[in-house]
Chain A
Amino acid sequence: MHPDLTDDRLSAARERCRFLLRLAQAGIASAFCVIALSFWSFQVGQHVRFAEMAENNHQRVLNLRALRGAVVDRNGDVLVQNRYSLDICLIREQVADLERTLALVADATGSDPEALRDALADGADVPVYRPVALIKDATQAQVAAVAARAFELPGVVVERNPTRHYPSGTIASHLFGYVGEVTDSQLRAATDERIRVGAVIGQSGVEHSYNRLLMGEDGARRVAVNSIGRELGTLEELPPAEGQPLQLTIDFDMQKAAEDAFAHAGFTGAAVALDPRSGEVLALASLPAYDPNDFARGIDGSTWSMLNNDARKPLQNRALQGRYSPGSTFKLVVAAAALQEGVATPDFQVDCQGGGVFYGRFFRCHSRHGTVAMDEALEKSCNTYFYTLGQRTGIDAIHRWATALGLGRPSGIDLPHEATGTVPSREWKRRQLGERWYPGETISVAIGQGSVAVTPLSLAVMMSTVANGGKRVVPHLLKAARTADGWIAADRPLPSSIDLNPATVETLQRGLWMAVNRAGTAGRARIRGRDVIGKTGTAQVISLEGRAAAEAANGDSRRFRDHGWFVFAAPRDEPQIAGVVLAEHAGHGYLAAPIARHMLETFFAKQADRPLPVLPPRARPAPADAMEADG
């Protein structure tokens, strides 16, 4: 036996092993206790936190965009609707050879491979399992071409996106406005909880003012996703609720007639037609226009800067944002003020010898009218007569009646960003310029020159008030909105009564009738049997001397030519339509009258259920430059 293996030593070694085993048991048991406590801490103590993290891991909420309400005109014709744009998209995760796929897509759709590469680069932040749009709003042919080669193009898919659609293109673009993604400042100012990041809202026009009704309620889909984010199934779905369809007071044919007539005459400008009984807007046009469809899919930078930098300002709604000198159309206001204030009767006569001296200065008339009464003065637009009338009436009475008739105040139309014109008074001048009013200024104002400025819309309200005998209506566009219970008529804004004397109304209407139907300036708006009343006007863009200098320097005569106005209503006895036409740089108001005439003919043709009038072929490319000014 080996000396080491004595009994003592063996039992000592055995004792040591027993001790070590107990030590190991204790150590391992305590390790298990610590592990159990750790699991307790995670699974019970911090369970809520980790459960939430697990939920965030595997659930995503996808927005389901609600369709905006459609918009129809007063006859039910669709003006604005929704369409589904088709986007050709690529899911990178499913594509093995990106370059080859891009080349194939470019080949199939006839697009530039470089543009596709750029589109893909723009979507670099999009997760690899989500589609990136290569071609937005693809044509049917492109979609068909991709579908035909689907076998070679795994990972290339076509997505449908609801998009606002304006079927008539540029027609009534300012009226409809456009939609766009909500901006940061809009987001901060928003009180509507439906307006969230990424929401598409109305940015101008009816789209803006009735966004509350048109905008639907977006839905949401809660989906389960796996670790790379691929959607595995829907856990819960809240369907989107479509916005309310709206009916406008607009008559599409009238709107088109106005814009067609402008195109036919080759002018830019604005036209408004109202129902003088209610204030319903039948047409509201502003030219040049833009295509709101460009905005519907998110406008591209070049189109946006082109629209913004265009000197002709296509984004401006001239009908309510343009401020122009009213010219002779303002004579109506002066006549009304004089009659209402009692400073002149309808028989009041003035002898026109081509002008007159007022406050020591000669003011000219465009002709020698001889002795004229008020109706004849309106018919012939005699400046001398209205210089005299203005002097007698005074600027404050003119201001008072102009404001009562609707000028120099917001009309209250249900469109955003309406500009307000200016009708001067002594008070106004003191406040604005800190100067006193010079009586000589009243003489210029009396024929619509000087510091008076109006919007075409306010002039339409003025004309409507004269036509209906003293009821100032509030122009409005919303006729009805559809709810779950069907179409509900919109509340009609209440008109204000301004108590015009019957004699005043009679005199003004007779003068306006004569202007159209006798030898007056507005003969081009005459329609047999319709008793159209109206008044032309010319808004000076630049003084006569200034124009000559500018033309010599610039060579571009058209830019400095005066604007032509025409205000109108018909029929004289029971007016159903009143309005205004502003033809920019037309040179004279009588060139605006044919535009109004086409609108009126369309109106009456529709009323009688006759075929719509057709514009005659154009006789000459542009009106001649040399026009006799009527003041």
Chain B
Amino acid sequence: MFDRRLYTHLDWSLLAAVFALCLLGLAMIYSTTYEAATGRVGPQLARQLWALAIGVVAMVVCLGIDYRLLSNRVALIYGGVAVLLACTLVIGSEQGGARRWIDLGPVNVQPSEFARMAVALALATFFGTSQRVRARGLDWVVGGLVVAAPFLLIIVQPDLGTAVTLLPVCLAVMVFAGLRLKLLAAIALVGLLLSPVAWMYALEDYQRTRLASFIDPERDPHGAGYQQIQARITVGSGGLSGKGFLQGTQSQYNFLPVAHSDFVFSVLAEEQGFRGVLVVLGLYLFVIMRSLEAARVAKDRTGLFLVVGITAGFAFQVIYNLTMSAGLAPVKGLTLPLMSYGGSSLIATLMGFGLILNVGMRRFAS
């Protein structure tokens, strides 16, 4: 299955950038969970290291099996994830009023993180193997249903943040499959017009306060606006060259909540300064650009759609999290892929890059 040609066509620079981000993430998890009083690091670091190891294995598997083979088995993969999501609602362990995890003894698995990969593969297969060059009519409905099933299963957990990350995957694949940009713009306009209705009926109270506090964080500086104000202070106080590793007062003294997951980038900005920010921004931009390059050279439409879908989900999450880290977006439980703490997310993301590399290196394969 592994011939020398594949090996030479592997995008080593993309792989290196991905692992560089993982290592930076580990360093920031070390910093944010380090306790000066005891001199010990939280258990999160070890868990993340295990997840990285599993992620590497999963990545190699996703890399090794030809994506067309996976595409042929898409029904099994998609169905499996859907069943897992359904199971989560029933046997999932409840934390903070939400059922998002399946407890497997030593580890918790978050199936929704894997849903994005399954959806990308399913959509890519559906549109890529279609007999029509440009999809139309019924195709959009079928594609929509492919996304809608896991989307709804995740949203009732409830986990709006993760569910929303399915949308860029779906939209990107559909646009590349022929959805007109004008139509997309029209949908966006309708969405905008309907947003007051959504505000009134679709959002929970806590979501409304979060949005309101984003628009005016000073309104409730100790409540909903707190994280946003603290995020800006954290980032701004870092300055050009940062306070130094383990020296960030905002993160070390817990002024910034969930620093090791949602706000890991704010901590990096505080401790490493604007220079560190530029390095990491550069790495993420490089990773996204190299992924789009893999899409450009893809041998077939299925490969193209698959890479586009995964990259869109990744880019959306990265951009949103970076914006939120600077206190410029409402606080949503969206982590920074590759860097934030979270085993399932890391494994799923690495599997995604396995698929991207898979498509890229099989560009000449028959």
Contacts and interface: CB of A to CB of B under 8 A. Distances in A.
Q: Chain B: interface residue count, which band? A: 35 or more
B186 interface: no
Interface in A10-63: 10, 12-13, 16-18, 20-21, 24-25, 28-29, 31-32, 35-36, 38-40, 42-44, 46-47, 49-51, 53-55, 57-58
A49 B236 contact: yes
B143 to A, nearest CB: 17
A5 interface: yes
A50 B266 CA distance: 13
B37 A39 contact: no
A41 to B, nearest CB: 9
B132 A42 contact: no
Interface stretch (A152-160, A219-227, A368-376): A219-227
B199 to A, nearest CB: 26
Interface string B294-308: 011000000010001
Contacts of A13: 133-134, 178
Given A38-B326, A58-B249, A18 B235 contact: no
Given A54-B233, A226-B254, 19 more contacts: A2-B132, A5-B133, A9-B133, A10-B133, A17-B176, A24-B172, A32-B281, A36-B278, A38-B328, A40-B274, A42-B236, A47-B238, A47-B239, A54-B234, A54-B249, A226-B255, A227-B255, A228-B254, A232-B253
Contacts of B292: 21, 24-25, 28
B289 interface: yes
B249 A32 contact: no
Interface in A194-243: 224-228, 232
A551 to B, nearest CB: 69
A28 B315 contact: yes
B239 A44 contact: yes
Quick one: which of A32, A40, A54, A55 has the most chain B CB within 10 A?
A: A54
B239 A51 contact: yes
Nearest to B175: A20
B326 A57 contact: no
Q: Chain A: interface residue count, which band? A: 35 or more
Contacts of B212: none
Given A43-B269, A51-B236, A51-B237, A28 B285 contact: yes
Interface in A43-87: 43-44, 46-47, 49-51, 53-55, 57-58
Given A39-B235, A42-B232, A232-B37, A29 B285 contact: yes
A47 B270 CA distance: 11
Nearest to B285: A32
A49 B239 CA distance: 11
A118 B273 CA distance: 50
A47 B233 CA distance: 9
A43 B236 contact: yes
Interface string B310-321: 001001000100
A4 interface: yes
B36 interface: yes
13 contacts: A4-B133, A5-B133, A21-B296, A25-B289, A28-B319, A35-B323, A42-B327, A50-B236, A53-B233, A57-B249, A57-B255, A226-B255, A227-B254
B239 A43 contact: yes
B284 interface: yes
B131 interface: yes
Contacts of A54: 233-234, 236-237, 249-250, 255
B111 to A, nearest CB: 28
Contacts of B236: 42-43, 46-47, 49-51, 53-54
Contact of B319 (A2, A35, A226): A35
Nearest to B237: A54
A50 B285 contact: no
A232 B37 CA distance: 8
Nearest to A40: B274
Contact of A224 (B175, B178, B249): B249
A498 B262 CA distance: 88
A35 B278 CA distance: 10
Contacts of A50: 232-233, 235-237
A36 B326 CA distance: 10
A288 B257 CA distance: 62
B322 interface: yes
A18 B297 CA distance: 10
Given A4-B131, A28-B315, A42 B288 contact: no
Contact of A58 (B250, B284, B296, B323): B250
A341 B278 CA distance: 100
**Closest 6 interchain pairs by CB?**
A50-B236, A54-B237, A226-B253, A42-B236, A43-B274, A227-B254
B277 interface: yes
B240 interface: yes
Interface of A: 2, 4-5, 9-10, 12-13, 16-18, 20-21, 24-25, 28-29, 31-32, 35-36, 38-40, 42-44, 46-47, 49-51, 53-55, 57-58, 224-228, 232
Contact of B253 (A4, A18, A36, A227): A227
Contact of A57 (B132, B233, B278, B308): B233
Quick one: which of B237, B238, B281 has the most chain A CB within 10 A?
A: B237
Interface string B180-210: 0000000000000000000000000000000
A25 to B, nearest CB: 6
B176 to A, nearest CB: 6
Interface in B231-280: 232-240, 249-250, 253-255, 269, 273-274, 277-278
Contacts of B319: 28, 31-32, 35
B322 A4 contact: no
Contacts of A43: 235-236, 238-240, 269, 273-274, 277
Interface string B327-343: 11000000000000000
A53 B226 CA distance: 13
B274 A44 contact: yes
Given A36-B278, A39-B277, A58 B253 contact: yes
Contacts of A5: 131, 133
A231 to B, nearest CB: 11
Contacts of A10: 133
Nearest to B312: A24
Given A2-B131, A28-B288, A51-B239, A39 B254 contact: no
Nearest to A20: B176
A224 B296 contact: no
A90 B269 CA distance: 39
Contacts of A42: 232, 235-236, 326-327
A44 B242 CA distance: 11
Contacts of A4: 131-133
Contacts of B323: 35, 38
A225 B326 CA distance: 23
Contacts of A232: 36-37, 253
Nearest to A47: B239
Nearest to B289: A25
Nearest to A52: B237
A53 B249 contact: no
B173 to A, nearest CB: 11
A563 B278 CA distance: 91
A21 B323 CA distance: 23
A35 B326 CA distance: 9
A10 B132 CA distance: 10
A58 B176 contact: no
A585 B237 CA distance: 75
A32 B274 contact: no
B238 to A, nearest CB: 5
A31 B288 CA distance: 12
A518 to B, nearest CB: 85
B265 to A, nearest CB: 10
B176 A44 contact: no
Contacts of B296: 18, 21
Contacts of B274: 39-40, 43-44
Contacts of B253: 57-58, 224-227, 232
